[in-house]
Amino acid sequence: MKIIVSVKQVPARDSTLRINSQGKWLDESDVTYEMNEPDAYALEEALQLREKLGGEVVLLCAGPQRATQSVREGLAKGADRAIHIEVDQQGALDALATAQLLAEASRPESPDLVLTGLQSDDLGYGQTGVILAELLGFAHATIVMEVEPQANTVRVKRELEDGWFQNVVLPMPAVLTIQSGIKKLRYATLMGIKKAKTKEVKTVSASQLGANRTSATEVDRVYLPQRSKQTQMLSGEPRQVAQQLVEKLKFEARVI
């Protein structure tokens, strides 16, 4: 079984984030980066499936040259080889442009499964995996908690709202977006780090893939949330005040 795992490099959670001079994206000069945590769970699921069923785990990453760090981390954890699509432009591609690059790189591999994280920690679109499935013509499932390949199909358990779950059988090949927290993440061992240096990393550019990497959406402005305080005084009979308060919490603050 061949499993492709799409991973993304994102700003570390403890980074100090500042807006660049153009106001379009982050000032990357003092930002540290790490592998997107939801993608780490997708990688863990792929590695455990390979340990049970055999096969190959191929890491796929679209990002600038610095993303090699996250690629090597995935190889150190156990992925067999990697494909790095170098994207040099500042800022971030939207979900469609990213999925187009991933689809072009995935097709020649003819994978049985493509796993992605549920969403990215930086933008949180939650759409890249779904669009990737459409571009590849694969079946797909989101918010996946369990994966059980069965001959030419795969049985998955999806998390729904209010504690409900859904079991679905999909034909393979399929794209699955993995829910965070379903497995305990492994650490890269010293032996794994040494082996990662000898594993294949194929580097390609977007132009070599022939994919359209132009984002369909444009970032107009990136800014920090504005803090403000507003006080409203309610007066009248207690019952009337309580009714007004409930209406404001429900329709204005939208917290109940």
Q: Which of 87, 42, 61 is closest to 185 using CA atoms?
A: 42
Residue 198 falls inside a structural domain: yes
- Per-residue pLDDT at 211: 66
Give the C-alpha separation, 69 to 51, whole Å: 24
Does a structural domain hold residue 168?
yes
What's the N-to-C CA distance of the chain in angstroms? 47
- Write out the two tokens for 128: 């890249």
Q: Is residue 64 part of a domain?
A: yes
Asked if 87 and 117 count as a contact pair (C-beta separation under 8 A), the reply is no
Amino acid at position 21, single letter: S
pLDDT at 131: 95
Query: What's this model's pTM, rounded to 2 decimal places?
Result: 0.82
Q: Do residues 70 and 155 touch, judged by C-beta distance below 8 A?
A: no
> What is the reported pLDDT for 212?
63
- Evaluate whether residue 217 is within a structural domain: no
Q: What is the pLDDT of residue 48?
A: 96
pLDDT at 255: 83
Amino acid at 188: A
The first and second tokens of residue 73, run together, are: 């981390």
pLDDT in tens, the chain (256 residues): 999 999 999 988 888 888 888 888 888 788 889 999 999 999 999 999 999 999 999 999 998 899 999 999 999 999 999 999 998 765 667 889 899 999 999 999 999 999 999 999 888 889 999 999 999 999 999 999 999 998 899 999 999 988 899 999 999 999 999 999 988 999 999 999 999 999 999 999 887 887 666 777 888 888 887 877 778 888 889 999 999 999 988 888 788 8
Report pLDDT for 168: 95
Domain span at residue 204 reads 2-209
187: Cβ contacts below 8 Å, ≥ 6 apart: 77
Domain membership of residue 244 (yes or no) is no
b/e map 74-101, b = 16+ CB within 10 Å: bbbbbbbebbbbbbeeeebbbbbbbbbb
Say what the pLDDT of residue 74 is: 96
**12 lies in a domain?**
yes
CATH number at residue 157: 3.40.50.620
Total domains present in the chain: 1
99 belongs to a structural domain: yes
Radius of gyration over every alpha carbon of the chain, rounded to an integer in angstroms: 22
Contact 57, 196 (CB under 8 A): no
At 233 the pLDDT is: 86
Which of 127, 176, 114 is CA-nearest to residue 168?
176
What's CA 143's distance to the chain center, in Å?
Answer: 12
User: What are phi and psi for residue 189, nearest 5 degrees?
Assistant: -85, 165
Instruction: Read off the tokens for 211.
Output: 């994919």
Q: Within its chain, how far is the Cα of 35 from the centroid?
A: 10
DSSP code at position 67:
G
Q: Is 215 within the bounds of a domain? A: no
